[in-house]
Copies of this chain bind each other. A is one copy, B any other.
């Protein structure tokens, strides 16, 4: 599997990673969710090399995750904003955030907390089944080939004592 062909893999994870699966992209998107929009501000807050930032913003824009919105003419200046496709990455951010809070925080606790506007509580996300509403975890799901599977195969099920079963 080559990196440049990831987006054509018959796997939604691979396809997602063809967009967000590199060192910087999710950090750029973190800033977007924190309402950062301008080149300079991304650069200053992230300490990213300018041409890498330019490349990521271009790729995210080409992918439809960000969109350039002019905020002045003469000289023309544009800022980057999340599209609906980009906003939809929020669950990805949240999952990584919650995992980091749980497994990568020191004794002091997490560095940033999130509060739910609706209930006012400090919260984390619970993944629930879209059909029955029960919480989901790795052991409660099975996978099957779907309609878009062309020649893909799942590994054989012969293994036993699975930790991921």
Which A residues between 134 and 165 are near B, CB-CB below 8 angstroms? 134, 136-150, 152, 154-155, 157, 159, 162-165
Interface readout for A80-116 with B: 1 if CB under 8 Å, 0 if not?
A: 0111010111111111111111111110111111111
Number of copies: 2
Chain B, Cβ-Cβ closest to A146: B113
Query: Is A54 in contact with chain B by the CB < 8 A criterion?
Result: no
Rounded to whole Å, the gap between the CB of A69 and the closest CB of chain B is: 9
Given contacts A22-B23, A95-B95, A137-B87, contact A11 B123 (CB under 8 A): no
Whether A3 contacts B23 by the Cβ 8 Å rule is: yes
Question: Which residues of B have CB within 8 Å of A74?
Answer: none
Ordered by A's residue number, 28 sampled pairs between the chains whose C-beta atoms are within 8 Å are A3-B23, A7-B104, A11-B30, A12-B96, A12-B101, A14-B100, A15-B104, A16-B100, A35-B164, A45-B155, A82-B164, A83-B163, A85-B103, A88-B99, A95-B127, A105-B148, A108-B148, A109-B146, A109-B147, A111-B150, A114-B141, A115-B143, A116-B131, A116-B141, A118-B129, A118-B134, A123-B141, A125-B130
